[in-house]
A and B are shown apart, each in its own frame.
Chain A
Amino acid sequence: MILSAIAFYGFSSVAIAAGVMVISARNPVHSVLFLILAFFNAAGLFILMGAEFIAFILVIVYVGAVAVLFMFVVMMLDINLVEMRQGFLQYLPIGGLIGTVLLIELIFVVTSWAVAPESGGLLAAKAPALAEVHNTEALGRLLYTKYIYLFQGAGMILLLAMVGAIVLTLRARPGVRRQRIGDQVELRREDVIEVKNVPTGTGI
């Protein structure tokens, strides 16, 4: 037990520290690297809770795909931090005011938090006993039965995202030279080589 407590505090403190570094690092590439560190620690926390499937998804999808994509974008965009900080002081009063109001609201919400007494009977998806069903299966059962409508809806959104990305970016540019292997193979000697009979002493 003491081991899991140590692991918990280790993972969570590193996650929080990495989170702070994400927003405070000056170099955007370092920010993304700290983000990846935070993801790894969150995955560790999930494993401690016995949710190994979500932990793996977090590492595979977020670290493997999303964060790497972030990294590419950050490297390619060449973000100028000095330019981004411009107007910071100008927007500070209004932004600070909104932030303070939201913070006060949040404190009110957290301190006066109550859960409806009826909510126990309304739980949407009760977790089955861990001993009978391991959590990958439990998620699958829920996702493909009760939440099939949302699953399919999310599928439509992804299809739309693909169509939209193609609509907005794919364009046929004229005058681009592309390699067409078929054309190259079909090329005959007569098509490309012209034999001229040059009389001696006159030029072409």
Chain B
Amino acid sequence: MTAWIPEQMVSALPEVFLALSIMALLMIGVFRGDGHTRAIGWFAVAVTVVAGIVVVGTSAGPGEAFGGMFIADAFSRYAKILALAGTALALILSISYIEQEDLARFEYPILILFACLGMMMMISANDLIALYIGLELQSLALYVLAAYRRDSLRSPEAGLKYFVLGALSSGMLLYGASLVYGFAGTTGFEGIAKAVGGSDSSFGVLVGLVFITAGLAFKVSAVPFHMWTPDVYEGSPTSVTAFFAIAPKIAAVALFVRVLVGPFAPIAAQWQQVVVLIAILSMVLGAFAAINQHNIKRLMAYSSIGHVGYMLVGLAAGTQAGVQGVLIYLAIYLAMTAGAFACILCMRVHGRMVNDIDDLAGLAQTRPLLALAMGVFMFSLAGIPPLAGFFGKLYVFLAAVEAGLYGLAVIGVLASVVAAFYYMRIVKLMYFDEPGESFDRLPGREVGFVLAGTGLFTAFFFIVPSPVLSAAATAAKSLFAG
């Protein structure tokens, strides 16, 4: 495509572009100061859009780069587009918020771009070391973002908690990786697949696999490793929580899928039972623990744990249809979570954020459009047809049934019935309760656009689902081609 770039680096062009843009924006910020945060924020949005275009534009590239450590296939392109879209939405949502909350320092959009770069490296990782570098780049940016409101007590606490537990999970992941490396003699995914598939896998590989799975489960906040999620979601500034819920989930789930379906495909029977257990626990806990929550951010934390459980149902199937279901679910989850957080960011009374679910009471009378949007997102998160969330669940459950995991699918459906209760409770509060104090008007015009865009996508996904479905099918196929 271009003569001035070494041919083997063409596939990595989006990452290179992102890294260079980060450094350029950092320089602009350092020399122009915090007064230009809004401009840098919009520049960062533009960077994600251009990076997305580059991802699509380099699809004809060689596929692998840097001696096979980096892979750019249809799967990674799909996941990268989602991660970039999630980053862009989170950036747009936070531009006005950080100004109103007095957090407008120019590092904010740059830290989010750093996290985005880490996510792209995770998605494209084809080697255990590359996986770890990407994961750490992303996590480190997220730790800093969680502690971003440094003059409050909750936010540094959230950051510290996230950091300590994240370091623990990284340690487990590395320990597992070292066991796998000791067995296979290589860190490349293709080599591991050969070594694992070629002979009777030893007990050491299984232990290594379990540790890697545990480390990744922490990053997606699946159940035995979910403890940090509600506290971090509650303590972080709300725009950061929105980012946490949207983008890193996509990258981590994509990485989870690639690691288990790629190098460890030969011992699928071994990891399948682990993933089934994690999925069941996540769905059940996500459904039951959220019932008692009064803080909307904690509720969204448990909701995201539950949704990760549904995604892992597709992964547990381990088939092409299952991976396709996971990818569709990711796209839909991105839209509805971004929309729900756009609504939460509108919950301001007299210029101050309110986070209680009871504050939503009677929203339909004071702010009917906002209530309508929130209602759509809640129904969709609950999985009520014909909204988008229903289709996400439909495809993963179908894949599970096809793979013979009837019990898992039944538990999933039951869990989503329970989960529907607390989503419905919010709708009931908004439409049937006496209104309290009215919310301020929208924090910014761009929040309204995000609300409208994600709301329309969520509500009318069923009319034209084919672009997402076919893209996800191509992406899933590329993972099973080799």
| Interface of A toward B, CB cutoff 8 Å | 105, 108-109, 112-120, 122-124, 146-150, 152-154, 156-157, 159-161, 163-164, 166-168, 171
Question: Which residues of chain B are near A154, meaning CB under 8 Å?
Answer: 133
| Interface of B toward A, CB cutoff 8 Å | 12, 19, 22-23, 26, 65-67, 69-70, 105, 107, 110-111, 114, 117, 121, 129-130, 133-134, 136-137, 140-141, 143-144, 147-148, 150, 156, 159, 179, 182-188, 191, 194-196, 198-200, 202-204, 207
Question: Which residues of chain B are near A148, meaning CB under 8 Å?
Answer: 66
Q: Complex formed: what's the CA distance from A123 to B195 in Å?
A: 11
Q: Complex formed: what's the CA distance from A147 to B26 in Å?
A: 26
Could you tell me if B179 and A123 are in contact, using CB atoms closer than 8 angstroms?
no
Could you tell me if A164 and B150 are in contact, using CB atoms closer than 8 angstroms?
no
Question: Which residues of chain A are near B204, meaning CB under 8 Å?
Answer: 109, 112-114
- Distance in Å from the Cβ of B294 to the closest Cβ of chain A? 30
- Distance in Å from the Cβ of A143 to the closest Cβ of chain B? 12
Question: Which residues of chain B are near A112, meaning CB under 8 Å?
Answer: 202-204
Question: Which residues of chain B are near A115, meaning CB under 8 Å?
Answer: 182-183, 185
- Distance in Å from the Cβ of B414 to the closest Cβ of chain A? 31
Question: Which residues of chain A are near B188, meaning CB under 8 Å?
Answer: 122, 124
Q: Complex formed: what's the CA distance from A156 to B136 in Å?
A: 10
Could you tell me if A156 and B114 are in contact, using CB atoms closer than 8 angstroms?
yes
Question: Which residues of chain A are near B136, meaning CB under 8 Å?
Answer: 157
Q: Complex formed: what's the CA distance from A57 to B22 in Å?
A: 31
Q: Complex formed: what's the CA distance from A161 to B114 in Å?
A: 11
Could you tell me if A122 and B66 are in contact, using CB atoms closer than 8 angstroms?
no
Q: Complex formed: what's the CA distance from A163 to B26 in Å?
A: 9
Could you tell me if B111 and A124 are in contact, using CB atoms closer than 8 angstroms?
no
Could you list 22 examples of A-B contacts with CB < 8 Å? A109-B204, A114-B202, A115-B182, A115-B185, A116-B195, A116-B196, A116-B198, A118-B184, A118-B199, A119-B184, A119-B195, A120-B185, A124-B185, A124-B187, A124-B191, A146-B67, A147-B69, A157-B136, A160-B137, A163-B111, A167-B144, A171-B150
Question: Which residues of chain B are near A160, meaning CB under 8 Å?
Answer: 111, 114, 137, 140-141, 144
Q: Given A116-B196, A117-B199, decide whether A167 and B105 contact each other with a Cβ distance below 8 A.
A: yes
Please, which residue of chain B has its CB at the minimum distance from the CB of A155? B19
Question: Which residues of chain A are near B194, meaning CB under 8 Å?
Answer: 118, 122
Question: Could you say which of B66, B70, B111 has the most chain A C-beta atoms within 10 Å of its C-beta?
Answer: B66
Pick the contact of A116: B19, B143, B150, B199 (CB < 8 A): B199
Question: Could you say which of A146, A148, A156 has the most chain B C-beta atoms within 10 Å of its C-beta?
Answer: A156
Q: Complex formed: what's the CA distance from A161 to B107 in Å?
A: 12
Question: Which residues of chain B are near A163, meaning CB under 8 Å?
Answer: 26, 107, 110-111, 114, 144
Q: Given A150-B129, A153-B137, decide whether A122 and B186 contact each other with a Cβ distance below 8 A.
A: yes
Q: Given A112-B203, A160-B114, decide whether A150 and B185 contact each other with a Cβ distance below 8 A.
A: no
Q: Complex formed: what's the CA distance from A171 to B105 in Å?
A: 11
- Distance in Å from the Cβ of B452 to the closest Cβ of chain A? 33
Q: Which 3 A-B pairs have the closest CB atoms?
A: A119-B185, A116-B195, A164-B144
Please, which residue of chain A has its CB at the minimum distance from the CB of B107? A167
Q: Complex formed: what's the CA distance from A170 to B22 in Å?
A: 20
Could you tell me if A124 and B186 are in contact, using CB atoms closer than 8 angstroms?
yes
Please, which residue of chain B has its CB at the minimum distance from the CB of A119? B185
Please, which residue of chain B has its CB at the minimum distance from the CB of A167? B107
Please, which residue of chain B has its CB at the minimum distance from the CB of A123? B185
Q: Given A112-B202, A122-B191, A163-B111, decide whether A168 and B147 contact each other with a Cβ distance below 8 A.
A: yes
Q: Given A115-B182, A153-B134, decide whether A168 and B203 contact each other with a Cβ distance below 8 A.
A: no
Known: A108-B207, A159-B23, A168-B159. 17 other contacts (CB 8 A): A113-B202, A114-B200, A119-B184, A122-B185, A123-B185, A124-B188, A149-B65, A149-B130, A150-B69, A150-B129, A153-B137, A157-B133, A161-B140, A163-B110, A164-B141, A164-B144, A166-B107
Q: Complex formed: what's the CA distance from A58 to B57 in Å?
A: 45
Q: Complex formed: what's the CA distance from A109 to B208 in Å?
A: 10
